[in-house]
Amino acid sequence: LWLRHEMKAQETRTPLTPEACALLAASGRFRLVVERSPTRVHADAEFEAVEGVEMAASGAWRELKPSADVLIIGLKELGSHADHADGEVPIGHDHVLFAHVFKGQLGAEGVLRAWAAAIAAANEAARPAPTLYDLEFLDGPDGRNIGARMSPFAGFAGAAHGLRAWLHRATYGDDAPAPAVKAAASKGALVAEVRGMLEASPSPPRVLVIGALGGCGRGALELLRALGLDASTWDLAETAERGGGPFPEAVTDFDVLLNCVYLRGPIPPFVTDELVDAPPGGAARRLSLIVDVSCDPDSPHNPLRLGAYSAATSWEAPTARLRDAPAGLHILSIDNLPSSLPREASAEFAAALAPALAEEFPAGPGWARARGAFEHALAAVAQP
């Protein structure tokens, strides 16, 4: 097992903590290699202290010869879509990560074709073909999805940083830039920061959470309840009662919309340009911030059908403007929100991934499902 350094900016989480490495070492099934990382939430010394762990240089996985005996573990992508398309990403091993290329996302085809080419090269060389295990499709020994363990942290952080942005503008005006996102020491520390802003604000926002019963929605509601804020909560039943979408009251009755749905396929839009610009009956738009916790701007099924929304936002500039003042509308769409709670998110995630590795890799049902998802995605891009 080879734990790689994360290259993505502001990504300080780790899929395996020192405690998880100790569990895996005790299983006796694996040789454990951990790349050094200047950004990981756990210091290199914490891994060095684990008996059985070997250390390697950051990015050393890229120099390894192709082998079926190495499983490389990370969280975020191995490189950009362009890097994959240009052959800049070495693919000679099995990898575990959040790939975000199995559901038709923009740029996914180039990544999958790079994997198809690597498989073809392996077959020609008569060596085992590499497999991409997407954490979004990996279940643990308890049958629960492992990737979903990050979802409550995404909802919690998304709600917190969305409120930070909304409260900042409520105090300083619509033109004020949203405060940058920074990693918090804990959920409690993040709650304390937002509570201070809330207490200084003239009035609290009205909040709508769509997808309230899922992991992201539960995390968002945990944050809101910690602050004593009420929210309207919609899930499948509530959206069905309202015709599935678009939802006029989402733009006329609320200040903040939290999109926490898990996209599995096409669904009706929640909001559209037409609805934002001309709510029915001549009603005024109240909505001034959308927090896209699901963060699927490049998905053809994104329910936020807004022409100005086509890319994720960043930690440095967490919101993007969709409409100008006086009726300003902004969106927050950050694709690694749990990394703003790196220690707690890593602990929760590693506690699920380590048993899946120790007890079931590679033949267990969870790993078989993940392989099937990869093969299905490859077959889709192979079709003419």
- Report the pLDDT value the prediction gives residue 325, as an integer from 0 to 100: 85
- Is position 301 annotated as part of the catalytic site? no
Buried b (16+ CB within 10 A) or exposed e, 132-152: bbbbbbbbbeeeebbbbbbbb
Q: What is the pLDDT of residue 384?
A: 61
Q: What is the pLDDT along the chain (384 residues), one digit of tens a residue?
A: 999 999 999 999 999 999 999 999 999 999 999 999 999 999 999 999 999 999 999 999 999 999 999 999 999 999 999 999 899 999 999 999 999 999 888 899 999 999 999 999 999 999 999 999 999 999 999 999 999 999 999 999 999 999 999 999 999 999 999 999 999 999 999 999 999 999 999 899 999 999 999 999 999 999 999 999 999 999 999 999 999 999 999 999 999 999 999 988 899 999 999 999 999 999 999 999 999 999 989 888 899 999 999 999 999 999 999 999 888 999 999 999 999 999 999 999 999 999 999 999 999 999 999 999 999 999 998 876
Residue 138 has a pLDDT of 98
Sign of CA dihedral 74, 383, 372, 362: negative
Mapping DSSP onto H, E and C, the string for the chain reads CEECCCCCCCCCCCCCCHHHHHHHHHHCCCCEEEECCCCCCCCHHHHHCCCCEEEECCCHHHHCCCCCCCEEECCCCCCCHHHHHCCCCCCCCEEEECCCCCCCCCCHHHHHHHHHHHHHHHHHCCCCCCCEEEHHHCECCCCCECHHHHHHHHHHHHHHHHHHHHHHHHHHCCCCCCCCCCCCCCHHHHHHHHHHHHHHCCCCCCEEEECCCCHHHHHHHHHHHHCCCCEEEECHHHHHHCCCCCCHHHHHCCCEEEECCCCCCCCCCCEEHHHHHCCHHHCCCCCCEEEECCCCCCCCCCCEECCCCCCCCCCCCCEEEEECCCCCEEEECCCCHHHHCHHHHHHHHHHHHHHHHHHHCCCCHHHHHHHHHHHHHHHHHHCC
Q: Which of 42, 76, 81, 187 is catalytic?
A: 76
β-strand partners of 257: 208, 290
**Residue 376: active-site member:** no
Q: Of 81, 84, 100, 103, which residue is the catalytic one? A: 100
Q: Give the global pTM.
A: 0.94
